[in-house]
Chains A and B, each alone.
Chain A
Amino acid sequence: MIARPTTPQLLQTIKAELNDKIAPALTDPTHIVAVQMMSSILDALSVRTAHEIAWMIDEANATETAAADYVAAHPDARGVAAALAAYRSVHSSSLHLADVGAAYDSAAELLSCLADAAFSGGTAADVRTVERLVEQRLGNELTIVGNFQAVGRD
């Protein structure tokens, strides 16, 4: 396959042409805003394509570890245990996006179950573990989109 130029480089090339050649020719304000939105989406995709496989695996692994610790400390936490088993049944060594995405989706449900348990019956340390996992996920999301400023609002 062709690996160079990279996917982010190709996306940035499209963005440059969109902004430098197409946008200046537009007069309809709705089309101008649409191009601004597309440009912003292309920026986010450049970052996302470069890192998404690694970040999804990192986040899922961290959630699995935290959930396993929680189940070990709270043997009656059946919801978390069931979600953990479901995650492990989906998780595989495949690095194809669809497979990593499926495992990541299952890890997201596992995190939700862990949050439900921690906020309703967990310790302060359990809540803090959930907070850290949420912040890890948020940190990657924000790295992808950067500083969001709504376009076309006045």
Chain B
Amino acid sequence: MSEENIARLSAFLGKRNGGAGAVTIHDYTPITGGYSRAMSRFWAQDANGRKGYVMRADPPPGQSILDTDRTYEWELLSALDSEGSVRIPKPLWFDPTGAELGSPAFISENLECDSLHMLTQKGNVESNRQYTRRLAEAIASVHNFPLDRLPAGVRRPRSWSDYLDECIASWRTAEAAHAEHEPFLRVVAAWLDAHRPPETPLRLVHGDFQGPNVLVQHGTGNYHMIDWELAHVGDPREDLGWWVLAHLSMPPDAIEDDKDSFLAHYRELTGLSEEVVNPATIAYFTVQSSAGVFFNLIKMTSRIANGETMGSSVAYMTNAMPFIHSTWITSMRLAGHWTKDNA
């Protein structure tokens, strides 16, 4: 980080430390885990002592694979923190415009933790079963969050069928944002429309449920969810489907290796039936849940095609797109609605 930005950060914290004097920043380190926001960890020293924090900021224009709104995420985090049933690192301060920190950013407490993904990478199929039950509890806490406690900016669809209609329509309209015709989008739209799963009550959906976004706190063992930029009210099976897609490119998959146990505990906690939550319906939502991320990918890679950006992390996403296409076809087969062998 530049000296100018370190000075901005010191000044920002100095205005919010209750008169504990000048703040000095130590061990500022970028966190490379995510592709969308500029994340960093640092320690701040003032008259009260030394504390660790995490900053989540908008990257420079054109450098992210996702365009999302920090104010939306901050308000949601504040609501989650206030209600208390979903564990998250405590959100502390927000600069909505970037006037103080250089770009819109918020600062949260730094947890002493490991990501669940890191832990499962170190384990094996047997040892990773220890995480399944707590993981079901973590995502069930999101899906059980009372919708009336969400901030006004989080849109509430009128009904499940309206919501799914909108989702399917979005596949057809997304193509317009792409630099080329993309037949997979309309194939997926037609397929989703033809094979709708059983209805379920709308819930809060995390939107990027995956191992790197689940932090396991040292000492307490509590699971904290991070990266809420894609959270919305929708079908809770989207999170379970997205987990599958995320971990195909990022093994191991802690749920797949103990799926029956995970699903049984999840159903018990959420009250959703086996008819609603099962491998076939999750496969349907592995396809549907990729819409938000995939639409952003085509929007961002189109900016390269249109000469509007040169970011290598965006260019890299052209490698991810065939992988997502492949996952759609595999999921359609798992859902029982795509020919198993077309050779």
Task: List the interface of chain A (C-beta within 8 A of B).
Answer: 28-30, 32-34, 37-38, 40-41, 44, 105-106, 108-109, 111-112, 115-116, 118-120, 128, 130-132, 134-135, 137-138, 141-142, 144-145, 148-154
Q: Which B residues lie within 8 Å of A116 (CB)?
A: 186, 190
Q: Any chain A CB within 8 A of the CB of B33?
A: yes
B32 touching A30 by the CB < 8 A rule?
yes
With both beta carbons as reference points, the residue of chain A lying nearest to B313 in the complex is identified as: A37
B190 touching A128 by the CB < 8 A rule?
no
B59 CB to closest chain A CB, in angstroms? 10
B338 touching A131 by the CB < 8 A rule?
yes
**For the complex, would chain B's binding face be called helix, strand, loop or mixed by DSSP majority?**
helix
Q: Which B residues lie within 8 Å of A37 (CB)?
A: 312-313, 315-316
Scan B88-131; emit 1 where CB is below 8 A from any A CB, else 0: 00000000000000000000000000010110010000000000
Task: List the interface of chain B (C-beta within 8 A of A).
Answer: 29-30, 32-33, 35, 115, 117-118, 121, 175, 180-187, 190-191, 193-194, 212, 249-250, 312-313, 315-316, 318-323, 325-326, 329, 338-339, 342
B163 CB to closest chain A CB, in angstroms? 21
With both beta carbons as reference points, the residue of chain B lying nearest to A32 in the complex is identified as: B32
A153 touching B117 by the CB < 8 A rule?
yes
Bound CA span A115–B118, Å: 41
Bound CA span A152–B329, Å: 26
**For the complex, would chain A's binding face be called helix, strand, loop or mixed by DSSP majority?**
helix
Bound CA span A115–B30, Å: 45
Q: Which B residues lie within 8 Å of A152 (CB)?
A: 32-33, 35
Bound CA span A7–B243, Å: 38
Bound CA span A132–B338, Å: 10
Given A108-B181, A108-B182, A108-B183; A150-B320 close (CB under 8 Å):
yes
A111 CB to closest chain B CB, in angstroms? 4
Given A29-B32, A150-B249, A153-B33; A145-B323 close (CB under 8 Å):
yes
